[in-house]
Structure 1
Amino acid sequence: MTIQFKTRKWFQGASIAITAMLALPQTAHAWGMEGHEAIAALAWKYMTPTTRKKVDALLAMDQDTLTQPDLMSRATWADKWRSAGHGETEPWHFIDIEIDHPNVVSACSAAADRANPASNGGAQPCVISQLDRFERQLSSKDTSVADRVLALKYVLHFVGDLHQPLHAADHDDRGGNCVKITVNNTKSLNLHSYWDTYVVKEIDPDPQHLADSLAKDITPADKKSWALGNSKQWAMESFQLGKRYAYSFHPPAGCDASRPPIPVSSGYDSAAQKVATLQLKKAGVRLAYVLNHRLRSIPLSYFTNLQKQAPASDNNG
């Protein structure tokens, strides 16, 4: 199968698309609120004191009301914004790399666009291209306060998205959204939702407590090794985990609403928890690394002077 960019909402053939979309489950949000909040809380532990001050200053300028203004809540903002009638941002949250014919370039061939803000999206955007663009927007000396605040919120979110295996791996099934499963012979949900929220809540439903627990197991060697690489390499890590673990029970490709749920074993559930735990750790460490790196070039005086300016204008995209 040739890899082609696609959103998880669109299907070829108008009549087929309408019928299929009525029957298919809704697209889930990567890691759910709990996962994204835990990643942000974990990242806070690894930010430098100066980065923390800069992040706090930017968050204080944000007047948006979709979420609470704290760091953990703002890490969920991008999902809230998408659900508030901005479906055009949906492709920004994932990259569909087919497990049978993986090709990250053809799955996301968005060219770098340095002339326009990242919020414009551009052609064939995906989580890799948009994360890279928002990182540049966050660190550029020419970025307005409102656009820098917006970039921070997207970076907080997209680093997390990039580490959810089914936001990278795909089997022509909308990243597992079309695959119905049952867990423990009772709970019925789709495969994507399982990896987004169910498995995270199994590990620990309290985001702050989860972050505290994850931090206890992260060694200095982990921090050093996980900070290496770039968004494309991190996406391929997630893809490999998705292929090896998320799709390990070999569900059929494609979307067919008539298929019955597939039971997953306790062994699958146990392995998923281990994979999710690892990915949450990596996402937290890497988010801190990205923010430390990207905000380093902006002097602290810029941030301390923010409070003297008028509040940031509506920066919702």
Structure 2
Amino acid sequence: MKLLLSLLSLLPLSLAWGNLAHRTIALLAQKHFTPSASLYIHSLLGSETLSDAAIWADTYKFLPQGRYTSSWHFVDARDEPPHSCSVSYGRDCQPNRTCIIAAIANMTGRVNDERLEHGERNMALKFLLHLIGDLHCPLHAEGLLRGGNDISVLWEGRDTNLHFVWDVLIPQSRTNSTEADERAAAITWAGQLYNMELEDPNTTRLVVGWAREANAWVCRTVLRGGVDGVKRKELSGKYYIEAIPALEELVSNAGWRLAAWINELAKEEALKRGDKERGELK
């Protein structure tokens, strides 16, 4: 885990999805868990499903006791899409509030901290399940017009904003689902993405380029024609079709990368437990 934290320190950014994508990422990750990781997850979550745990952080941030975590889900990249997309931790992660980079590092350190109560470690795991998913959604890595929240667009003739299109509407349209059946849709979509094997899950490329990859899609697809290319435009047709490759690559990458993170945490926990048991036998 020291390697993961050292890599994380180089990361420049963050992102977020709606419930459907978060559930799918968690279920896709589960397919790549080692047996040790599966036991590790169960020990911390108990009867709570991985799918439900993955969306908890978005609910918690709206509670009075959780409002301090709202900034953990994003970093406002101060770049210039579509001409240039870039992320800098020093430039974009504001010093007066915690961004996703610091949040993931903090939660990674807490989840295996035996000095903490079980409930605190449970929360740390649920933040990791959510935030590593967040790290793969383009518009939470973009500061332009509040990450697209202030860019008005049309979807099937109805007024909405660009941020909501990417967080919710494109994933729902891809799976032909609604909020009412998102659990079943996530199971199906995770299975489809797992079978597609878009990227080798054994790659050693874990973290360094995650945020930069997502941010690059802002210039390549999300705002390829600039704000004027989407503002007040209908996005449910050609734009949606061209967005699918980005969506599926990002969600697939998030799934197996989350698995790699959890597998490493489980391995670290097992090693610590083994060292402790050996010490007690001396």
Same-fold call, TM > 0.5?
yes
For residues 55-74 of structure 1, the aligned pairs below 5 Å read 55-60=41-46, 69-74=48-53
Match status 1:274 vs 2:255: no
From 150, 159, 167, the equivalent of 1:178 is 150
User: Deviation digits for residues 162-213 of structure 1, max 9, x if unmatched?
Assistant: 1011111231x111011111134x1321100000010001111311111011
Partner residue, 1:288: 259
- Any idea what SS the aligned residue of 1:299 has? helix
Partner residue, 2:72: 92
Match status 1:137 vs 2:110: yes
Partner residue, 1:113: none
Partner residue, 2:278: none
Q: CA deviation at 1:141?
A: 4.4
For residues 217-296 of structure 1, the aligned pairs below 5 Å read 217-218=196-197, 222-225=200-203, 228-230=205-207, 233-251=209-227, 261-264=232-235, 266-296=237-267
Q: CA deviation at 1:251?
A: 0.8
Q: Is the 8 A contact 1:50 1:300 kept in 2?
A: no
- Any idea what SS the aligned residue of 1:170 has? coil
Residues 229, 53 of structure 1: CA spacing in aligned structure 2 closer, same or farther, 3 A cutoff?
Answer: closer
User: Deviation digits for residues 25-67 of structure 1, max 9, x if unmatched?
Assistant: xxxx932111111111101000101100110111018xxxxxx
Bigger CA drift: 292-301 or 275-284? 292-301
Residues 301, 168 of structure 1: CA spacing in aligned structure 2 closer, same or farther, 3 A cutoff?
Answer: closer
Q: Hey, which bits of structure 1, 4+ residues long, moved more than 3 A? A: 139-144
Q: Is the 8 A contact 1:94 1:167 kept in 2?
A: yes
Q: CA deviation at 1:270?
A: 1.0
Partner residue, 1:37: 23
- Any idea what SS the aligned residue of 1:189 has? strand
Q: Is the 8 A contact 1:163 1:235 kept in 2?
A: yes
Match status 1:77 vs 2:50: no
Q: CA deviation at 1:265?
A: 6.8
Q: CA deviation at 1:263?
A: 2.9
Q: CA deviation at 1:87?
A: 2.7
For residues 139-158 of structure 1, the aligned pairs below 5 Å read 139-158=112-131
- Any idea what SS the aligned residue of 1:262 has? coil
Q: Is the 8 A contact 1:169 1:238 kept in 2?
A: no
Match status 1:159 vs 2:144: no
- The runs of 5 or more residues in structure 1 that have no matched partner are 1-28, 62-68, 111-122, 253-258, 303-317
Q: Is the 8 A contact 2:25 2:190 kept in 1?
A: yes
Over the aligned positions, Cα root-mean-square deviation in angstroms equals 2.6
From 126, 129, 132, the equivalent of 2:99 is 126
- The runs of 5 or more residues in structure 2 that have no matched partner are 1-14, 178-184, 274-282
Supply the distance in 1 between the matched residues of 2:117 and 2:271 (Cα, whole angstroms). 16
Q: Is the 8 A contact 1:179 1:251 kept in 2?
A: yes
Supply the distance in 2 between the matched residues of 1:165 and 1:297 (Cα, whole angstroms). 31
Q: CA deviation at 1:124?
A: 2.8
Task: Report the AA paired with residue 284 of structure 1.
Answer: G
Supply the distance in 2 between the matched residues of 1:88 and 1:248 (Cα, whole angstroms). 34
Q: CA deviation at 1:109?
A: 5.4
What's the TM-score once normalised by structure 2's chain length? 0.79
Q: CA deviation at 1:96?
A: 1.1
Partner residue, 2:3: none
Match status 1:50 vs 2:50: no
- Any idea what SS the aligned residue of 2:269 has? coil
Aligned length: 246
What's the TM-score once normalised by structure 1's chain length? 0.71
Task: Report the AA paired with residue 292 of structure 1.
Answer: N
Supply the distance in 2 between the matched residues of 1:271 and 1:94 (Cα, whole angstroms). 24
Q: Percent identity?
A: 27
